[in-house]
């Protein structure tokens, strides 16, 4: 990248229950070019490694109570970890809500 080119800042919004694993942050931001969600998550784990075990199980699968959205799209329907995350995207991690 030349000195005049910059990637847009990506934002990851964390639910209250995950904030202690990110130093209390409600939002984590960094410059990120377009990339698959798997690469974006690797960058998130580098910043806050404890989040990984809260989002994925020991065998590398999504925890059933966690949903992730790129913009307004649930990644379960857009390719899971292969979902393309554009520059400047907003990712929201949401704990699933259930009950009766």
pLDDT in tens, the chain (100 residues): 445 556 689 999 999 999 999 999 999 999 999 999 999 999 999 999 999 999 999 898 889 889 999 999 999 999 999 999 999 999 999 987 765 5
Look up the pTM and report it.
Answer: 0.86
Can you list the domains of the chain with their CATH numbers? 9-95 (3.10.20.30)
Residue with tokens 């960058």: 43
Which one, of 43, 66, 40, lies nearest residue 53 by Cα?
A: 66
């Amino acid at each position: 990248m030349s000195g005049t080119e910059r990637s847009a800042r990506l934002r990851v919004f964390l639910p209250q229950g995950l904030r202690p694993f990110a130093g209390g942050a409600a939002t984590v931001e960094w410059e990120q070019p377009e990339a698959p969600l798997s690469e974006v998550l690797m960058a998130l784990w580098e910043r806050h490694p404890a989040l990984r075990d809260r989002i994925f199980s020991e065998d590398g699968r999504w925890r059933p109570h966690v949903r992730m959205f790129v913009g307004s799209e649930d990644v379960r329907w857009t390719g899971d970890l292969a979902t393309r995350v554009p520059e400047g995207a907003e990712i929201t991690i949401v704990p699933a809500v259930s009950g009766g």
